[in-house]
Amino acid sequence: MLPAVTHQDPRLFALAEDGEAAAAAERRAGQGRQGRQSRRGAGGRWSRPAPLLLAVDGNGLVHRAFHAVGGLDGEPGAALERVLAMLAKIAAAVRPTACVIGFDDPVHSLRRDRYPPYKAARPPKPAELVELLDELPELLGTLGLCVVVPDGLEADDVLGSAAALASRRVVAATLATGDQDAFALVRPTVRVLLLVAGGRLEQVSPSWLRARYGVGPEQYPAFAALRGDSSDCLPGVRGIGAVTAAKLLAAYPDVEAARADPAGVARLLGAWVVEALVSHGATYELNRELMAIHADVALDPDACNRRLDRRVVTEVLAERGLDDLADRFLGSFALLGRAAWRRAPEPR
Residue 6, domain member (yes or no): no
Residue 340, domain member (yes or no): no
Q: At 340, is the pLDDT very low, low, confident or very high (cuts 50, 70, 90)?
A: confident
**Are 258 and 161 in a shared domain?**
no
Q: 22 or 342: which carries more pLDDT confidence? A: 342
Residue 7, domain member (yes or no): no
Q: Alpha helices, DSSP H only, in 169-270?
A: 206-213, 220-227, 242-251, 255-259, 262-269
Give residue 171's pLDDT: 94
**Are 275 and 311 in a shared domain?**
no
**Are 144 and 176 in a shared domain?**
yes
Residue 41, pLDDT > 50, answer no
Give residue 96's pLDDT: 97
Give residue 347's pLDDT: 63
Q: Are strands 172-177 and 52-57 parallel, antiparallel or unpaired?
A: parallel
Residue 221, domain member (yes or no): yes
Residue 25, pLDDT > 80, answer no
DSSP 339: S
Give residue 2's pLDDT: 72
**Are 229 and 196 in a shared domain?**
no
Mean pLDDT of 314-331: 96
How many folded domains does the chain comprise?
2
Residue 44, domain member (yes or no): no
- Per-residue pLDDT tens for 47-67? 678 999 999 999 999 999 998
Residue 268, domain member (yes or no): yes
Residue 183, pLDDT > 60, answer yes
Residue 167, domain member (yes or no): yes
Mean pLDDT of 4-26: 59
Residue 149, domain member (yes or no): yes
Q: 11 or 300: which carries more pLDDT confidence? A: 300
**Are 231 and 128 in a shared domain?**
no
CA distance 339 to 295: 23
Mean pLDDT of 212-230: 95
What CATH number did the domain enclosing 299 receive? Answer: 3.40.50.1010
What CATH number did the domain enclosing 281 receive? Answer: 1.10.150.20
Give residue 271's pLDDT: 95
pTM given for the model: 0.88
The region that residue 311 occupies, defined by phi over 0 for left and psi between -120 and 50 for alpha, beta otherwise, is alpha
Q: At 75, is the pLDDT very low, low, confident or very high (cuts 50, 70, 90)?
A: confident
Residue 147, pLDDT > 90, answer yes
Give residue 253's pLDDT: 94
Pick the last residue of a domain from 265, 291, 317. Answer: 291
**Are 128 and 140 in a shared domain?**
yes
Task: Kindly give, in sequence order, each residue whose CB lies less than 8 Å from that of residue 148, ignoring residues fewer than 6 positions away.
Answer: 100, 101, 102, 103, 158, 297, 299
Residue 31, pLDDT > 60, answer no
Domain that holds residue 219: 215-291
Residue 33, pLDDT > 60, answer no
- Collapsing DSSP states into helix, strand and coil, what is residue 28? helix
**Are 229 and 255 in a shared domain?**
yes
Report phi then psi at 162, rounded to 5: -65, -40
Mean pLDDT of 190-202: 88
**Are 281 and 150 in a shared domain?**
no
Q: At 32, is the pLDDT very low, low, confident or very high (cuts 50, 70, 90)?
A: very low
Give residue 39's pLDDT: 38
Give residue 256's pLDDT: 95
**Are 203 and 270 in a shared domain?**
no
**Are 221 and 146 in a shared domain?**
no
**Are 115 and 208 in a shared domain?**
yes
**Average pLDDT along the chain:** 88
**Are 208 and 223 in a shared domain?**
no
